[in-house]
Amino acid sequence: MKRLFILIVSLLLGSAAFAQKTKADLMITGGSIIDVKTGRLSSNKVIIIRNDSIITVIDQDKSSHWQVKQNYNAAGKFIIPGLWDMHMHFGGGDSLIQENKNLLPLFLAHGITTVRDASADLSKSVLQWRDEIAKGQLQGPTIFTSGPKIEGYKSIWLGDIEVGTTQEVKLALDSLKQLKVDFVKITDNTLKPALFLEAIKMARQRGFKVSAHIPAALTMNQVADAGLSAVEHIGYALKAGTKDEQAISDEIASGALKGKAVNGRIIADFDEVSALKAYKNMAKHGMSLTPTLLISRTVAYLDQDDHKNDPYLKYIGKGLRKTYNWRVERAAKDDPEAIAFRHQVFEKSAAVLPLLQKAGVKILAGTDAGYLNSFDYPGIGLHQELELFVQYGLTPLQALQASIINSPEFLNQKQYGSINSGKKADILVLDQNPLLNIKATQMINAVVVKGQLLDRKYLDQLLESIKTKN
């Protein structure tokens, strides 16, 4: 009888202890957590996740206090926040909506848990996907989008909001606010320089971050003074690094300097002292820059690799692949002298990356992947961009920061950027340490997106399903 009493008491005590445990959805144990801000590693930690957020990160010996639905052993692995691609495009017309939608799982399969859509001609669909993903109704990376970008009359780009007056800029910004876009993008194909500067100021007054292509007739200092938040593509930084950018801009505006001669003059007049001065002014104004090295290098070196046999093409729909032809056909017209020149322009442009970093300009990691940009692939492209960052002068830690820390900071998304309590549960589990070899970002063991674990088996199945859709 005494033994029975002791057994009952023990069971009751055990039940009480179990009932007192805090419930959660997912526990990740055993991995080394990388602090991407400092480069420090923490081991013997446990990540506790509930819904789409990290509840806490605790010592391993305290994990028994938690009751979780799923346990993931990451022993021997390395853990970082999910990657961001800060410049990509969904586009190509209504007939390619489904092919664009098929890119969503492709990003996740490569650990890209957030993307910034830098506008094209499918804004209605992109905004719908953004909201469905946020509500958990569609699987994909978190989307931030500019919606349609602001341009001048008769732009070559489809889906723009074309403006030619201050009133039309106002109406354009009204419509973008109504669409609840995440930032504003302005480009330079036909938009007049004076109205370009005015549009930046008006957008900033409304609280928008603004990214842009810069009209050749304007200087980096002018757009910085106007309040531009981010420059898209590194070529504009090469021009800003010349001894007298104002003189070059004036000659372009007057028509005295045009065509190939523009880049020739920029390369001849580039000066590191002048460049650092211009870049420090950018940093002073809080400007960021998305280099998009991958697309520039891919097109510059099509003579050495035509990419026709890329294994990754099996993940890209036939319609999207056709949009690649535009750049390929243009490059094919170049003679040996022109090919050598485009190599030179790319190499000179990429070489300013460490100068921008040194000056304090926040580098954002973006690919320009999506439609139109030949062999610049959604998903794997971000990893290749990070490789190029390191190849051209950044450390692996700085490359990771460009994607994981600088990107959410640009969009004022404070709930991202580290593996800490209160942060979003977008996590990458890697087989090797990316601080030692940036290619390790491609060695993905598992992805956690919005708190949902996608293990290697699931990721492989995801990739297989994308192939069958194309």
Q: What is the pLDDT of residue 16?
A: 42
Predicted local distance difference test score (pLDDT) of residue 9? 40
Return the pLDDT at 3: 53
Structure tokens at 418: 């580290």
Pairing, β 66-73 against β 78-81: unpaired
pLDDT computed for residue 369 by the predictor? 96
Torsion of CA 175, 180, 185, 189, to 10 degrees: -30
Profile the chain (470 residues) by mean pLDDT over runs of 10 residues.
Answer: 47 46 93 97 95 94 87 97 98 95 97 96 96 97 97 91 98 97 96 97 98 97 98 98 97 94 97 97 98 97 95 96 93 95 98 98 97 95 98 98 98 97 98 98 98 97 89
Q: Note whether 375 and 298 are within 8 A (CB).
A: yes
pLDDT of residue 267: 97
Contacts by 252-255 with C-beta closer than 8 Å and gap 24+?
252/216, 252/217, 253/193, 253/216, 253/217
Structure tokens at 269: 């007049």
By CB atoms closer than 10 A (0-12, 13-18, 19+), residue 310 is middle
